[in-house]
Chain A
Amino acid sequence: MYTILEKQVLSDVTKLMVVEAPHVARKAQPGQFVIVICDAQGERVPLTIADYDRQAGTITLIFQEVGKSTLQMGTMLPGQSFYSVAGPLGHPTEIENYGTVACVAGGVGIAPVFPIARSLKEAGNHVISIIGARNKSLLFWEDRMRAVSDELVVCTDDGSYGRKALVTEPLKELLTERVGQIAKVWAIGPTIMMKFVASTTQPFNVATIVSLNTIMIDGTGMCGGCRVAMTDGAKFVCVDGPEFDGHKVDWSNLLSRVQFYRDEEQAAVRHWDEQRESAAHVCNLEGVPAAGGPA
């Protein structure tokens, strides 16, 4: 079960995997997520469902290697299996014909934005997408995003591809040039990016949905570790979200909460590196490089 059927390297640190998970694929909808565990010692990692195929019983996961678990996932190969895939979790995106909408994605956030943009397009919206990353090598799925968008802006922080800008810049221009036309904005990416998208849209009074990625254990409402302070009280990202009104989020509280386990996350990466080094000395067959793997 939970066998990896396909693996693509989207960038040095971004991997795509198509995983056998029929129980999730049959119900998955845009905006929802799964909890993945690599092995019996693994932690529960929430990952947004980037795509799904109900017939084939598969889901597509895209992750960036930022911690021990995602580094480990990145070393896994087609034919290998995850220990656990639970879901689908969280509320789906509320898709309807709003008119003209903007989908803003930063880095690995392009993955969860794609099915949302596709559904919005299918529902009849005029979809304007803005995708961005730190540099060219971190961008992916430009073609897929273009296929589901009426307009697409691509930017990089360093100008190595597309326009040299943060995603908030073209967004602000859009809101300024087409006053009253943009009905709703979705923004998914690093917490700091979503914060600035929300503060960009607020003066224009344009509803802005963000998909929050917090520390989470069970993903079913049991631990409360994912709670986030909102202007209308604390909410659980796993069962009340993961999408929220970006104008109601207490961003400074959220930014401090997602950092809480940073020391431990770094210690886990060190432990993982040490383990792989000692394993490489013992057995060459195990020596698959951490950031590598077949395309």
Chain B
Amino acid sequence: MTPLTQKERMAISRQGMPVQAPEVRAGNFEEVALGFTPELAQLESERCLQCAKPRCVDGCPVGVQIPQFIKALRDGDLPGSVQAMKAKNNLPAICGRVCPQESQCEAACVLGKKGQPVAIGRLERYVGDFELLEHTCPPVAAPSSGRKVAVVGSGPAGLTCAVDLALLGHKVTIFESLHVPGGVLVYGIPEFRLPKSIIHDEIRVAADCLGIEVRTDHVIGNTYTLDELLDEYDAVFLGTGAGLPSFMRIPGINLNGVMSANEFLTRVNLMKGYRFPEYDTPVKVGKRVAVIGAGNVAMDAARSSLRLQTLHSLHSHDNGSSPSEAHIVYRRSRDEVPAREEEFHHAVEEGVICDFLTNPVAILGDENGRVRAMRCIRMQLGEPDASGRRSPIPIEGSEFEMPVDTVVMALGTSPNPIVFNNAVGLERTKHGTTVADPDTGRTTKPGVWAGGDVVTGAATVISAMGAGKRAAADMHRFLSDDSLWNIG
């Protein structure tokens, strides 16, 4: 087959991702996006212009060699494509699903200037999924350096840092407080966006091939302090994320039926509450759910609510009563919604109802201490605030009651303080985040690096992976500097 001309390539339109129909998927927890077929992947890969100075690579927080992996893919060399991918990113099946490509690599794609950018994320997922099935390019560790590293937390930052250091020949032990590794990937992101089997497989392959030891059930700060880890390991990376939920300071917050998005999503995702009683952990969602906030976590919570409501109505026999509803309640307007466009779009498509410019001022309970309603106030947008977004201002006299039985607070999270128990010399900001050099991840405590949400506050999976990667590079420099170590 003769190669296409640039003009021919540009004539191909961006290939859509096959998805479960909204009315079907709103009733199950299976993955929404079904992945490219080989034909769609081929066609989409033909669209890449193989720029001499590819901007997409600059748009990627970990610098994936995007033109190379796409070139190999369209040449029919999937193992080669995997190899190009894994030079920078060892978790492509995860990134292909949860990265905000539209604001990163795809935002930089030259095709996007006049038309639609190459669907880099969908191609990445295609390549990652191929590798999970075929194992053509298992990671190989360099000869042992004799150095030992402790990685605290097995979310995106910790995993990336662990894999990179193990590839370089260091002996890595990951400490995870929960009973399974993956961090926010397993407790936060729902099955229908990122199947747990994908995370499990990606971690297992990396750990098995690179000899990474994963110790679950270890709550660093309690089980071992940071100093105890430093006694045993040559360096420590903190990737403990931002796990502490925020609650609004309004009356009624402790009523039954009010929970953090963390609690709700942990019950659903980590504990598989949607399969209760086959799994032991229940999750309670009523017929009128209000999710406060409009970020990705809020969308995940609202979409999970819809699914639980559908499953519940299938199992119960109350056909005659009113239909269930899941609302997003957000104090700003549609234009300020911080969730990814795709997530917001999917949520609305599935039937999530949005109440914009609306803010709860109190949660009201019944005589049994259960939520029965929220008192809300209408908002209008004023001048831009520190975040650059127009700040919401309450409209006086606009209060009203919204009947709800479940309230999920998706208002952001801050770092979990347990790891800092007795952590002498580790400086933190007033927001509870760890002070670390953005280029190297070095903290104020010698021998300790940090990256991801524990440094930045809640951000994205890929930015945490980028931080894990930068820290690994700097830790490697430190671990390889023989002048620092007594050799022999």
Provide the bound-state CA to CA distance between A268 and B282, in Å. 9
Binds B, one of A81-89, A113-121, A147-155, A170-178: A81-89
Does A227 sit at the interface, judged by CB under 8 A?
yes
Provide the bound-state CA to CA distance between A239 and B224, in Å. 16
Binds B, one of A53-61, A98-106, A131-139, A252-260: A252-260
Q: Report whether A23 and B260 are in contact in the complex, using a CB–CB cutoff of 8 Å.
A: no
Provide the bound-state CA to CA distance between A271 and B279, in Å. 11
Question: Restricting to B270-290, which residues have a CB under 8 Å from any CB of A?
Answer: 270-272, 276-282, 284
Provide the bound-state CA to CA distance between A239 and B415, in Å. 13
Most chain B beta carbons < 10 A, residue from A217, A223, A261, A268: A223
Which residues from chain B contact A87 at a C-beta distance below 8 Å? 217, 219, 222-223
Does B14 sit at the interface, judged by CB under 8 A?
no
Given A44-B281, A227-B254: A27 in contact with B271 (beta carbons within 8 A): no
Q: Looking across the interface, which residue of chain A has its beta carbon closest to that of B244? A: A221
Q: Report whether B254 and A257 are in contact in the complex, using a CB–CB cutoff of 8 Å.
A: yes
Question: Restricting to B362-402, which residues have a CB under 8 Å from any CB of A?
Answer: 368-370
Binds A, one of B52-60, B138-146, B261-269, B322-330: B261-269
Which residues from chain A contact B223 at a C-beta distance below 8 Å? 23-24, 27, 87-88
Q: Report whether B262 and A268 are in contact in the complex, using a CB–CB cutoff of 8 Å.
A: no
Given A85-B217, A86-B219: A224 in contact with B260 (beta carbons within 8 A): yes
Q: Looking across the interface, which residue of chain B has its beta carbon closest to that of A1? A: B217
Q: Looking across the interface, which residue of chain A has its beta carbon closest to that of B176? A: A86
Which residues from chain A contact B239 at a C-beta distance below 8 Å? none
Closest CB in chain A relative to B313 CB, distance in Å: 17
Does B177 sit at the interface, judged by CB under 8 A?
yes
Does B243 sit at the interface, judged by CB under 8 A?
yes
Q: Report whether B254 and A222 are in contact in the complex, using a CB–CB cutoff of 8 Å.
A: no
Provide the bound-state CA to CA distance between A27 and B421, in Å. 13
Which residues from chain B contact A259 at a C-beta distance below 8 Å? 256
Q: Looking across the interface, which residue of chain A has its beta carbon closest to that of B275? A: A41
Does B233 sit at the interface, judged by CB under 8 A?
no
Q: Report whether A221 and B243 are in contact in the complex, using a CB–CB cutoff of 8 Å.
A: yes
Provide the bound-state CA to CA distance between A36 and B42, in Å. 49
Does B40 sit at the interface, judged by CB under 8 A?
no
Q: Report whether A229 and B222 are in contact in the complex, using a CB–CB cutoff of 8 Å.
A: no
Question: Restricting to A253-290, which residues have a CB under 8 Å from any CB of B?
Answer: 253, 256-257, 259-261, 264-265, 267-268, 271
Which residues from chain A contact B270 at a C-beta distance below 8 Å? 217
Interface size on B, residues (CB 8 A): 43
Closest CB in chain B relative to A227 CB, distance in Å: 6
Given A24-B223, A239-B417, A264-B282: A220 in contact with B260 (beta carbons within 8 A): no
Q: Report whether A37 and B256 are in contact in the complex, using a CB–CB cutoff of 8 Å.
A: no
Q: Report whether B284 and A261 are in contact in the complex, using a CB–CB cutoff of 8 Å.
A: yes
Q: Report whether A42 and B266 are in contact in the complex, using a CB–CB cutoff of 8 Å.
A: no
Provide the bound-state CA to CA distance between A228 and B369, in Å. 13
Among B187, B216, B284, B369, which residue has its beta carbon within 8 angstroms of that of A84? B216
Which residues from chain A contact B256 at a C-beta distance below 8 Å? 256-257, 259-260
Interface size on A, residues (CB 8 A): 44
Which residues from chain A contact B368 at a C-beta distance below 8 Å? 256
Q: Report whether B277 and A222 are in contact in the complex, using a CB–CB cutoff of 8 Å.
A: no
Provide the bound-state CA to CA distance between A234 and B248, in Å. 11
- Chain B 397-424 near chain A by CB (<8 Å), digits 1 or 0: 0000000000000000000111000000
Q: Report whether A223 and B222 are in contact in the complex, using a CB–CB cutoff of 8 Å.
A: no
Which residues from chain A contact B473 at a C-beta distance below 8 Å? none
Q: Report whether B281 and A43 are in contact in the complex, using a CB–CB cutoff of 8 Å.
A: yes
Q: Report whether A41 and B266 are in contact in the complex, using a CB–CB cutoff of 8 Å.
A: no
Provide the bound-state CA to CA distance between A229 and B282, in Å. 23
Given A224-B245, A253-B369: A217 in contact with B219 (beta carbons within 8 A): no
Q: Report whether A42 and B263 are in contact in the complex, using a CB–CB cutoff of 8 Å.
A: no
Which residues from chain B contact A68 at a C-beta distance below 8 Å? 277, 280
Q: Report whether A224 and B263 are in contact in the complex, using a CB–CB cutoff of 8 Å.
A: yes
Does B259 sit at the interface, judged by CB under 8 A?
yes
Given A41-B280, A42-B280, A222-B416: A89 in contact with B271 (beta carbons within 8 A): no
Does A218 sit at the interface, judged by CB under 8 A?
yes
Does A162 sit at the interface, judged by CB under 8 A?
no
Question: Restricting to B230-265, which residues have a CB under 8 Å from any CB of A?
Answer: 243-245, 247, 253-254, 256-257, 259-260, 262-263
Among B222, B257, B259, which residue has its beta carbon within 8 angstroms of that of A224? B259
Question: Restricting to B284-337, which residues have a CB under 8 Å from any CB of A?
Answer: 284
Closest CB in chain B relative to A223 CB, distance in Å: 4
Closest CB in chain A relative to B415 CB, distance in Å: 10
Q: Looking across the interface, which residue of chain B has its beta carbon closest to that of A229? A: B254
Q: Looking across the interface, which residue of chain A has its beta carbon closest to that of B416? A: A221
Q: Looking across the interface, which residue of chain A has its beta carbon closest to that of B368? A: A256
Closest CB in chain B relative to A71 CB, distance in Å: 11
Nearest 5 pairs of A and B residues by beta carbon: A256-B369, A264-B282, A223-B263, A43-B280, A86-B217
**16 other contacts beyond A37-B179, A260-B257, A261-B282, with CB at 8 A cut-off?**
A23-B224, A41-B279, A89-B219, A217-B263, A217-B266, A217-B267, A217-B270, A218-B178, A220-B178, A221-B418, A228-B254, A252-B369, A253-B254, A256-B256, A257-B254, A264-B282
Measured CB to CB, the residues of B under 8 A from A are 177-179, 187, 215-219, 222-224, 243-245, 247, 253-254, 256-257, 259-260, 262-263, 266-267, 270-272, 276-282, 284, 368-370, 416-418
Measured CB to CB, the residues of A under 8 A from B are 23-24, 27, 37-38, 41-44, 68-69, 83-89, 217-218, 220-225, 227-229, 234, 239, 250, 252-253, 256-257, 259-261, 264-265, 267-268, 271
Show 28 A/B contacts (Cβ-Cβ < 8 Å), sorted by A.
A23-B215, A24-B223, A27-B223, A38-B280, A41-B272, A41-B279, A44-B271, A68-B280, A69-B280, A85-B217, A86-B179, A87-B223, A217-B266, A217-B271, A218-B178, A218-B266, A220-B416, A223-B260, A224-B245, A224-B247, A224-B260, A227-B254, A234-B247, A234-B254, A250-B254, A256-B256, A267-B277, A271-B277
